[in-house]
Every structure is written in C-alpha cells, then in structure tokens.
Amino acid sequence: MTADAPAPAAPVRTTTPYLRLLATTQFAFNTGFYAVLPYLAGHLGTGLGMAGWLVGLVLGLRTFSQQGLFVVGGALTDRYGPRPVVLAGCALRIAGFGWLAFAGSTATVIAAVLLTGFAAALFSPAVESETAREAVRHERTTGTPRAQVLAVFSAAGQAGAFVGPLLGSLLLLLDDGFRATCLAGALVFAGVLAQHARLMPRRAPVPRTARPRHSVRAVFGNGPFLVLCLAYSGYLIAYNQLYLALPAEVEEATGTQAALGWLFALSSLLVVCVQLPLTRWSARRFAPRTALVTGLAVVAAGFAAVPFTPAGPGGLLPGAVLVVLLTLGQMLLVPAARGLVPDLVDDRLLGLATGALSSVSGIAVLGGSTATGALLQAPGPVRWAVLAAVPLTCAVLAFTLPVSGRGNRCG
C-alpha cells in the first residue's frame, strides 16, 4: 500500500445495465473494426493493384481521420450529448464499410476509408466519455473503484480485437472475401446502432456556459491534464513498438516474422483473461495516479529486460518477455489514465478532454514512431535503453499529477 493509496473500497457490486451496454458496445465495435481493417492493406495492394506508397497513404489518412479527429467527436458529445453522436458514428461506419465493399477506384476507396475513420472519431470519444462519467457515478453510489468499471470496458474491447480478425479470416475464405468482411462489419454496426437507438438514454447534454473557443482553451490550458496527455503519449509510443521494434527483434532472433501472430495473440489473451482480476487487485491497493506510474514503470522494465533475457526456444523468449510486461503495464495504466480524466477537467468538458487525450497521443505517436524507427539501426543495448527511457520518463512526469482534484482522489 503506497502512502497516497485510497482507503479500502466497499465491497464490489455488479455494474449497471447501462455500463454493460457500453462494454458490450466496445466489444461489438472492435469486432466489426478488426474484422475488416487488418485485411485492408492486402486488399488495396493485391486486390486493387495500388502501389505501396498509395497503400501507405490510404492507411495514414484512415488513422488521421480517426485518431486525429477524436477531439472533434469529443466536442460534439459535449455540445449535443452522447446519444446522437454515437448513433451518427454508427450510421457513418455502416455507410463507410458498405461503400468500401464496392469501391473500386482510388478516389472512392479514399472517401470510404475517410468516412469509416471519421465514424470512429465520433463514436469512440462519445462512448469513452460516457463510460468514464458512468464509472465515476457508479463509484460514488456503490464504492466500486472506477478503474474496475473501466477495466471491463478495456477487456471487452480487447476481446473484440481478438475475435474480429478471426471472423475476418474466416470470411476471406469465401469468394470475394474482402467484400464479405466489409458487409459483415457493416452488419455488426447495424446491430450496435439498433441497440443504442433502443437502450441509450435520451439525456440532455451537460449544460455549458463557455463558448467553444473558451472550452478548448480550458482543456489545453489545464496543466495537470496536459501532463496526463504526455504520460499517456509515452505509453502509446511504447505500445507502438509492438509493430516496430518487436518485429525487428523477432526477425533478428529467428530470421522470420512468422511468430508475431502468436505474440499478438498472447497479448490479447492476457488482457482478456487477466485485466479484470489485475485491476480489482490494483484498485484495492493503489490510487489511480500510483497505478499509472506503476504501469509505466512496468512497461519500461519490459524494454530494459530484452537485452538481459537469455534467448529461449527459437529465440523468442526476449520478445515474449517484452510482450508480457508491456501488456501488464498497459492493463495497470489504461484504466487508471481514463479514470483520472474526470478528476482533472470540468464535467462539462469531459467529451472534449477524452477526445483530446487520444488526439494529442496520436500526434505524439506519429512523431515518436519516426524517431524510434531510427533506433532500429542502433546496437541492441542502446536501442532498448532508449526505448525504456521513454515510459520511465513519463512515469516520473505522471508522479507530478495532483493528489486530488475537485474533491476526488487523483493519485
């Protein structure tokens, strides 16, 4: 128990039906998303004959239209409430996947991909901010730590990320398989749209007194919130190494990247199986700030351990150690970081702040990935020491977050 740990929580009670709806939504969202997107590059290159640079451009535009515009979806959520933004996001995702299924030219593919990305930029901040708000309300009502509710949300999303590619790979066995995956993804989102139209409360938006420009200034001028954004950015830069440094390590060790799929499956299964008990244990012992700092330190340990881990069977042991520690750190820090947002910003700006957390982190990852990519040519010990320094520095930064905010304990 740390010095800033909270008092023991009341016995855990089950989540509300509305919270279960939001968690199920995240599962369905990721199932539909990952049934299509892992196979998009292959479809563009092999199916449509696009040049490699054009495939990269299309994928980059998709990421920007989603991650970069989260702040827009968050601002709209604050302005109009979560229900219309979620429903609009679902409708646009259905239209985007339906369009992508039949798009045959570069222009139509780009338009469809931008539409699917913007749909997520609407949907995700609305659902995430609503989940954070409900988690805080549930914590005040029942004593259940908000991190446990947010961990259910994270585990549901990871389960969808695990199931989605399996669904997509089965559909690809059909004639014109990519079209089938797109239509299946659209069908999943049609189900999400129907459920939310029926069950999501018609709640008025949170009353606002500030104009949009003042709201943006209030969020981005909030020092503690920007510290949280920087700390979270360091985690995402580190997590992105699963797609950058890890493949290089596996290829160095085994001469091929064939084992990457197993390591990614290991990460997903860890989250699905361990997220809830780990968060339950952590919520009883650590305040959110402490869980955030500890998670970043565990991520740093994963990178630092690679040069000192003896090569195991097939040379994969160092990579497996990295995946396990990085995933454990992720499971500690992500619910804690999301749970801190309501303590650091005004409730009227929660949607904007939730979107800003993702958008700022996405921009940081764009720059950080370029910098860390240059490390792949560096000697192994140097590479892993620098990569470990990023989350470790962010852990020190996160420790400067205030102990409490607006009457709620922050860390």
d(CA 398, CA 390): 12
CB 409: neighbour CB atoms within 10 A? 16
pLDDT at 205: 54
pLDDT at 93: 92
Say what the alpha-carbon torsion angle 218, 222, 225, 230 is, to the nearest 10 degrees. 110
What is the pTM (predicted TM-score) of this model?
Answer: 0.71
pLDDT at 355: 81
d(CA 194, CA 187): 11
CB 164: neighbour CB atoms within 10 A? 26
Query: In which residue ranges of the chain is pLDDT below 70?
Result: 1-14, 38, 52, 56, 59-60, 63-64, 203-213, 243, 257-258, 261, 312-313, 366, 369-370, 403-411
pLDDT at 52: 67
d(CA 381, CA 266): 25
Q: Which residues have CB under 8 Å from 40's CB, separation 6+?
A: 58, 59, 62, 113
The token pair at 152 is 């259910």
